[in-house]
Amino acid sequence: MFFVDSHCHLNFPDYQAEQNKIIEDAEKLGIKRFLSVGTKLEELPDLIALTRRYDHVFASVGVHPEYATEQGDNFLFIRENINKAAKDPKIIAIGEAGLDYHYGTKETREAQKELFRLQLKAAKQTGLPIIIHSREAEEDTISLLQEETSSDLRGVLHCFSSHRELAQVGLDIGFYVSASGIITFKSAEELRDIFKDIPMDRLLIETDAPFLAPVPFRGRRNEPAFMIKTAEVLADLKKVSTDQLRDQTTQNFFTLFSKAA
Ligand code: NI
């Protein structure tokens, strides 16, 4: 069995010519599948090329809330492109999509919500799971999720670092909750407590590389190989061995992202 990095950005300029090395370094530590997540439509050609170059790299299509105003007034164009890309055999999810009130003014929030709603609908339409980014926007994330919830909406709260209520709403509607390097940060005591209570069969693990490197690499450029540090902390929280954590999170990955199976 192997680990899966369920959320990274291998196409980002941070890696450039090092892509090969980054992937090989992770493989040496047993991380053998990668989901390289899209943040805007312009990334699609690079992401698809990446999945052609590497059999074990998958990708997603979506628009991050940070780009809501940049791309947000052309919803028809976004919808068409997402639906078209979703037909690609290596595009296995919609996202990352969601709300980020850390960025942007109050005026951008309406555009963010519209874009999020569009992608929730696209997820249902295409049958692909949605990767949700939520930052400082818990209340609105909850209401949109509840508005759009249905039996054909599946997904993950990625890089989860919000409060317990959002985690619970996610679990209630059948979503997975994903742990990133944040759980290794000294100040993340409350978050670690939340992860103690996430059922093993709803847990995913990720790096969000190049962001959010776990301790002891905090502050450096993150890479998939560093996920082992997050796995050790998470296994400890769940009172299981690292192998057990690996097997369960990998099984969960293929259950949720069934197109990769
Ligand atoms: Ni990300």
pLDDT digits (tens, 9 = 90+) for 88-128: 999 999 999 999 999 767 878 999 999 999 999 999 999 99
- Between the CA of 56 and the centroid of ligand 1 the distance, in Å, is 19
| H or E segment and range at residue 6 | strand 3-8
- When pLDDT is averaged across residues 73-102 and rounded to a whole number, the result is 94
- 204-237 burial string, b = 16+ CB within 10 Å, else e? bbbbbbbbbbbbebbeeebbbbbbbbbbebbbeb
A 10 A CB-CB count for 242 gives 15
- Between the CA of 23 and the centroid of ligand 1 the distance, in Å, is 17
Res. 71: pLDDT tops 80: no
- Between the CA of 193 and the centroid of ligand 1 the distance, in Å, is 23
- What is the model's pLDDT at position 62? 97
Res. 206: pLDDT tops 80: yes
- What is the model's pLDDT at position 140? 97
- Between the CA of 25 and the centroid of ligand 1 the distance, in Å, is 20
What is the distance between the alpha carbons of residues 196 and 260, in angstroms, rounded to a whole number? 28
- Between the CA of 97 and the centroid of ligand 1 the distance, in Å, is 10
Res. 72: pLDDT tops 60: no
- Between the CA of 6 and the centroid of ligand 1 the distance, in Å, is 10
- What is the model's pLDDT at position 58? 98
- The pLDDT tens digits of the residues spanning 52-68 come to 999 999 999 999 999 88
What is the distance between the alpha carbons of residues 177 and 203, in angstroms, rounded to a whole number? 5
> What backbone torsions phi and psi does residue 183 show, to the nearest 5 degrees?
-65, -15
What is the distance between the alpha carbons of residues 34 and 3, in angstroms, rounded to a whole number? 9
- Between the CA of 153 and the centroid of ligand 1 the distance, in Å, is 20
Res. 9: pLDDT tops 80: yes
**Phi-psi map region of 212: left, alpha, beta (phi>0 left; psi -120 to 50 alpha):** left
- Between the CA of 63 and the centroid of ligand 1 the distance, in Å, is 11
- The pLDDT tens digits of the residues spanning 160-183 come to 999 999 999 999 999 999 999 999
- The first and second tokens of residue 255, run together, are 């259950």
What is the distance between the alpha carbons of residues 171 and 3, in angstroms, rounded to a whole number? 23
- Between the CA of 172 and the centroid of ligand 1 the distance, in Å, is 23
Mean pLDDT of the chain: 95
What is the distance between the alpha carbons of residues 220 and 54, in angstroms, rounded to a whole number? 25
10 Å CB burial of residue 130 (0-12, 13-18, 19+) is buried
- Between the CA of 238 and the centroid of ligand 1 the distance, in Å, is 24
- What is the model's pLDDT at position 103? 78
- The pLDDT tens digits of the residues spanning 125-166 come to 999 999 999 999 999 999 999 999 999 999 999 999 999 999
- Between the CA of 119 and the centroid of ligand 1 the distance, in Å, is 16
Measure the CA angle with vertex 246, ends 174 and 129; round to 5°. Answer: 30
- What is the model's pLDDT at position 73? 62
